[in-house]
Amino acid sequence: MTTSVPAPDSTTDTIAAIATALGEAGVSVIRISGPQAYEIADRVFKCSGNPPSKRAAGTFAFGHVIEGQTIIDQALCLIMRSPHSYTGEDVVELQGHGGHQCAKRILRTCLEAGARLAQPGEFTQRAFLNGRMDLVQAEAVLDLIHARSARAAAAAMDQLDGQLSTQLNTLYDRLIAIAADIEATLDFPEDELPETVMPTLIAGLEACLGESKALLSTWDEGHLLRDGAVVVISGKPNVGKSTLLNGLLGRDRAIVSDTPGTTRDTIEEDLVIDGIPIRLIDTAGLRITDCEIEQIGIARTRDQMTRADLHIHLIDASAPADTQEIDRLLTANPAKLLIIANKIDLIDPSEAPPAEIYISATQLTDIENVKESIGKHLADQIDLHSRPHATISERHRNLLSKAQTEIQMVLEMLSTLSDDLVPLASSRMRDVLDYLGQVTGRTYHDELLNTIFSRFCIGK
């Protein structure tokens, strides 16, 4: 069941939370939002001149946070009045000294003065409920916080500014108009409906279908920026996988040994290449073994290979060619496979086996070429030369895909020119609008909000 957005005054309590990370820092921020924000601020913050409740919006005061007659901390008090605040409510922020105890003492004082501890993401949820942002923009806040590269942060900022919302709302408005026109045809007698009506509706729906496909095409880029590309390094034991991992990271992360089978489990590390966050995974060497632990590691290796955004397979240039290994590579997706020949320093280059890159991992030669090649392979899914832009998330993708399926069904119904199918097409259009409305939050249900905002930290 979907629900329309409630009125801004539906939230009557006042919430507070620490908005900065706990730990040693220069400043800690405690945020208070709700109808009693200024009343609570007057109780806990004392300064010369007017109390917080009598001060103008956009101003700040220096004073002390107090508990009874005891001074807790020196602090700045920032005043933000409804509706021009992050949440759309009256907001006060107390900026005290950084540190775990300082922030906790100020928060406890605010809670004792009448505030309730905020739930994860509750400030942003109130911003949505009060019309300060839609769900797509709210999710951009989380993307911005979790951004693992400058490009990911820029894309999240584009989404927070409303670029993606504008595209989605424009599509929604066009579909509403088409749905209304389909509904209106039900009032016409069969022989009085102008001949141009159905072709016009079909053309409009086809245009909307094209727009939805264009939005869906941004998912691959969004997936890489939000989740990071999974890059798996595989190969036989002792081929140099761990050495390559260390070379790419620029530090000794994995144990390197001449003993085959040293890596029994996956080793995962993060790095950024060409603005794309990457989850680099070193795996157990591929071979036949009686060791049960190593067998489990090899099974995990094969699983990671199938799920990788890019599979780097390392071969030993100094060893004889393995026909079984070559046959396995021929079955892999070439767009997601990078073959690297290692130990090129041990042979005559003219005798090197076929590969995309030739390296000596121990001597760190051509490591930059490896990074460049990784970037090129991932560039097939993301245009690294374009300006970072908002992209759809997995949630958006699922809803848009459902909406697109319904639009295609409506097109088939209208194309038959059967009057009996028009009422069903009208009903399907309501489903289209429901799915699309859930993307931006024009329609929503409690479970949807809980799913989205529970992923936020407390204080945001």
Q: In what order do the strands lie in the sheet with 27-33?
A: 45-47, 60-67, 70-80, 91-97, 27-33, 15-18, 116-117
Q: What percent of the chain has pLDDT over 70?
A: 87
| Res 188: pLDDT | 66
Confidence of residue 200 (pLDDT cuts 50, 70, 90): very high
The structural architecture, per CATH, of the domain 226-378 is 3-Layer(aba) Sandwich (3.40)
**8-133 CATH:** 3.30.1360.120
> What is the amino acid identity at position 211?
E
Name the one residue in this structure whose structure tokens are 């941004």. 218
Q: Which two tokens stand for residue 232?
A: 């798996």
Confidence of residue 1 (pLDDT cuts 50, 70, 90): very low
- Neighbour tally for 267: CB within 10 Å: 17
What are φ and ψ of residue 196, in 5° steps?
Answer: -85, -10
Q: What are the pLDDT digits (tens) for 249-286? A: 887 765 454 544 444 456 888 888 888 889 888 876 55
Closest CA to 341 of 375, 322, 317: 317
Cβ burial 389-421 (10 Å sphere, 16+ → b, else e) = ebbbbebbbebbebbbebbebbbebbeeeeeeb
What are φ and ψ of residue 117, in 5° steps?
Answer: -65, 130
Q: Which two tokens stand for residue 207?
A: 């245009």
Q: Is the dihedral of CA 296, 298, 301, 306 positive or negative?
A: negative
- The superfamily CATH assigns to domain 139-218+391-440 is tRNA modification GTPase MnmE domain 2 (1.20.120.430)
| Res 260: pLDDT | 47
Burial class (CB in 10 A: 0-12, 13-18, 19+), 422: buried
Q: What are the pLDDT digits (tens) for 94-110? A: 999 988 889 999 999 99
| Res 345: pLDDT | 87
Question: How far is residue 432's CA from residue 416's CA, in Å, rounded to a whole number?
Answer: 20
Per-residue pLDDT, averaged over 384-398, amounts to 84
Write down the domain spans for the chain: 8-133, 139-218+391-440, 226-378
Closest CA to 139 of 428, 441, 442: 441
